[in-house]
Amino acid sequence: MAAPPPTPRRATDPVAYRPGREADLDACGRIWKAGIEDYQARLNQPSMPDDLAPLRRLFAHLLSTDPERFWVATRGDELIGFASASVRDGLWFLAMLFVDPAAQGGGIGQALMDRAQAGRDVDPGGPAVPGPDEPLDTGIHTWGMCTDAVQPISNGLYARRGMVPRIPIWRLFGEVRRWDALPLPPASVDPVPFEAIVAQGGGGPDGTRRLADLVDGLDRAIVGSAHGRDHAWLRREGRAGFLLRDRGDGRPLGYAYGSSVGRLGPVAALDPDLSPVLIGAAVRGVPALGPVAMWVPGTSDRAMRMLLEAGLRFDGFPGLICWSTPGHPFERYAPISLAMV
């Protein structure tokens, strides 16, 4: 028997909020595309891609790691907005907040934010939502996200909650045209593929744990939180990691990812002077089939200068990193994307 047609929604129907589920993810992708194209079309920007399969895999990852922070808004049978955030070692990071353009400006975005911050349902006017000034014993020490610089609504909504736009983050894109701009590693350091670390650790689960310990240690020292589940997702998505080690005592100094489809990052460096070496190792270690692209915070000045020197271009408008504390890791860290730190 054919499924009954969805009940048409009316603007006056009440809005309901519930945790998201796997069956919602295609509709979330449609809201994401409509939400971005609605404001970018007014700026003569090109449409978003039609192939939403990579985005859907990202949603599925976030739903699997943080189901209590993935919320949808519905009116009748129709999904009209969603929010998703992750928490890693006390770092809360907003991945997505999107409301159907026809339903914007009516408080739905704020209601979704409340739930993504609280990690549970929240009554309007009920118990306070945790935030930078009142973490409410949640263990969350930092709140952050990346936004679009041309979107005053989201930037205003987050800044009111203490996550103020502090740092521009640019997408750098293009062919490497001047290879000599990418520094080769000095004799004192050694870039080692992640697979080699696993093999040196005996292969199998022991080797994987050894690699995870090294990477977690760097993330705690540089970002302030480990995010092993996201590293596992990156490798499933085809990104290949390199660990930079001191050739003398073997100390880990940083890591960087490359990929054959040209996606670079994340890049983490204990010493920011090593960022260009790390990026060079990732670009040379995983030859891309075409152009390369990387999200680079304005505070990662050495990486930015080096990539521009190599021939990449600024692509589109910058994003903004919104962060609850003045101390941040972005001189030494370039994130996975605007959706995941």
Ligand X SMILES: CC(C)(COP(=O)(O)OP(=O)(O)OC[C@H]1O[C@@H](n2cnc3c(N)ncnc32)[C@H](O)[C@@H]1OP(=O)(O)O)[C@@H](O)C(=O)NCCC(=O)NCCS
Does residue 105 touch ligand X according to CB under 6 A?
yes
Q: Tell me how far, at minimum, the Cβ of 67 lies from ligand X, in Å.
A: 20
Among 99, 218, 243, 269, binds ligand X (CB under 6 A): 99
Q: Who's near 213: CB < 8 A, 6+ residues apart?
A: none
Among 19, 106, 162, 228, binds ligand X (CB under 6 A): 106
Strands in the chain per DSSP E: 15-19, 70-75, 78-88, 91-99, 142-148, 164-174, 189-193, 240-246, 252-258, 267-269, 292-297, 313-323, 333-334
What the block records as the tokens of 161 is 């909650």
Binding residues among 135-154 for ligand X as defined by CB under 6 A: 147-148, 151-154
Q: Tell me how far, at minimum, the Cβ of 337 lies from ligand X, in Å.
A: 12
Least Cα distance to 113 among 163, 45, 56 occurs for 163
Compare residues 80 and 292 and give the one whose CB is closer to ligand X: 80
Binding residues among 48-67 for ligand X as defined by CB under 6 A: none
Contact 148, 154 (CB under 8 A): yes
Q: What residue is closest to ligand X based on CB?
A: 156
Contact 68, 16 (CB under 8 A): no
- Site size toward ligand X (CB under 6 A) is 21
Q: Tell me how far, at minimum, the Cβ of 102 lies from ligand X, in Å.
A: 10
Q: Tell me how far, at minimum, the Cβ of 94 lies from ligand X, in Å.
A: 7
Report in angstroms the alpha-carbon separations of 223 from 111, 254, 268.
29, 12, 8
Q: Tell me how far, at minimum, the Cβ of 164 lies from ligand X, in Å.
A: 12
Helix, strand, or coil (residue 159): helix
Residues that bind ligand X (CB under 6 A): 35, 39, 97-99, 104-110, 147-148, 151-154, 156-157, 160
